[in-house]
Amino acid sequence: MKSWPSPVVPTMPARHGNPVPLRLYDTADQRIREVSFQNPEGPAGMYVCGITPYDSTHLGHAATYLTFDLVYRALLDNGRSVHFVQNVTDVDDPLFERAERDNQDWRELGTEQTDLFRSDMEQLGVIPPQHFMSVSETVDEIIDIVGSLLDQGKAYILDGEYPDIYAPITATKQFGYESNFTREEMLEVFAERGGDPERPGKHDELDALIWKAERKGEPAWEAPFGRGRPGWHIECAAIAANRLGARFDIQGGGSDLVFPHHEFSAAHIEAAYEVDRMAGHYVHAGMIGLDGTKMSKSLGNLVFIHKLTANGHEPSAIRLGVYSQHYRSDRDWSEELLVESEQRLALWRAALQQPGSLGKAEELVRSIREYIADDLDSPGALQAVDTWAKHPRGENDPEAAALVVCALDSLFGISLQ
């Protein structure tokens, strides 16, 4: 599956200051710490869970991918190339249900919505993954990892009409470390997010489906253990492991994926490859609400990226609106926030007419780098630019303006041109 065109990310001039090593909050360790790398000399491995393409990209999706775009840019600023992988969950119940409702082929629906997602990401200037992989094109890889778990006795086939395959939570000794949820919390969330705790015959209520035996009217693939299709969590496990290895640096997504999705994706890889920990950092972005209410398809209160841009709102203003609040917080979007972001963008552009001294611009860049390196403190960085833009400036060095333009484009994806 093809990705989308990459924006041009300018390189910060070395003579104007040094990058700052990136520190991120790790969900598993529950603290902020510096990002370390499995391969000190190689690229940083980053996997970010992608969309289930049954509806248009909304601002909640975009906020997550803009978060990891900041991560990508911070790593580039530190001289680290990035091996970025992202999936598209085009084999899943919500897609099939929507396709059946609309009397549309599920492949056509998936392709249509994935194309729109690509267009939204391109407009927002999000750096694309090197590997943008749909589940439907990686089923053979998923079959391999399911077979490996069966061979190692780390998965079991359920008796009955449908011989579905499950991975037990006992397949690894460390199950639960990623989310830090109690069993009671796991059971509650598991039932809400695609799990089947009441399924008869399972060894444990929390065991996760990794292969669903063929049902009438659903797509299915041939496998040594019977025709069927993959479970949700094993899909990401296979795609990540086959491109980044069983241990990589950053696993990312929205906070709604902490459990069960990321817990089980990690557990499947750790069981199949016998490693203690899949990702060096588990990083999660908060949820987006609209005018005080959680944004969701069921409530019909979604803000769509393509509609915002069609109405003339600049991608840079949308990015500023998202970055005006911290990525880990559950935060709100509103028309007022977008207006404020457009006013902020206008203020910054006006300040370029009198940019002040190169020394002040270098101080600003240093502040931006320090804020971003401190667990992506984008609100602090934006306030620093506001202070610079509002402060009286005596000198007007064209090199100062060029440096600020370069820094905001390189580190934030914000265009002041």
- Is 236 one of the annotated binding-site residues? yes
Query: Is 49 annotated in some ligand binding site?
Result: yes
CA distance 69 to 73: 6
Structure tokens at 366: 């240093």
In angstroms, the first-to-last Cα distance of the chain is 33
Left (φ > 0), alpha (ψ -120 to 50) or beta: where does 49 sit? beta
Whether 254 has a binding-site annotation, put simply, is: yes
367 is in an annotated binding site: no
Q: Is 52 marked within a binding site?
A: yes
* Angstrom distance (rounded) from CA 240 to CA 263: 14
Residue 255 annotated as binding site: yes
110 is in an annotated binding site: no
Q: Which amino acid is at 142?
A: I
Minimal CA–CA distance to 214: which of 205, 226, 204?
Answer: 226
CB neighbour class for 300 (10 Å; exposed up to 12, middle 13-18, buried from 19): exposed
The 3-class SS string of the chain reads CCCCCCCCCCCCCHHHCCCCCCEEEECCCCEEEECCCCCCCCCEEEEECCCCCCCCCEHHHHHHHHHHHHHHHHHHHCCCCEEEEEEECCCCHHHHHHHHHCCCCHHHHHHHHHHHHHHHHHHHCCCCCCEEEEHHHCHHHHHHHHHHHHHCCCCEECCCCCCCEEECHHHCCCCCCCCCCCHHHHHHHHHHCCCCCCCCCCCCCCCEEEEEECCCCCCCECCCCCCEEECHHHHHHHHHHHHHCCCEEEEEEEHHHHHHHHHHHHHHHHHHHCCCCCEEEEEEECCEEECCEECCCCCCCCCEHHHHHHCCCCHHHHHHHHHCCCCCCCEEECHHHHHHHHHHHHHHHHHCCCCCCHHHHHHHHHHHHHHHHECCCHHHHHHHHHHHHHCCCCCCCHHHHHHHHHHHHHHHCCCCC
**Does 256 appear as a known binding residue?**
yes
Q: Is 232 annotated as a binding residue?
A: yes
Residue numbers belonging to the annotated binding site: 49-52, 64, 87-89, 232, 236, 254-256, 261, 288
Residue numbers belonging to the annotated binding site for L-cysteinyl-5'-AMP: 49-52, 64, 87-89, 232, 254-256, 288
Residue numbers belonging to the annotated binding site for Zn(2+): 49, 236, 261
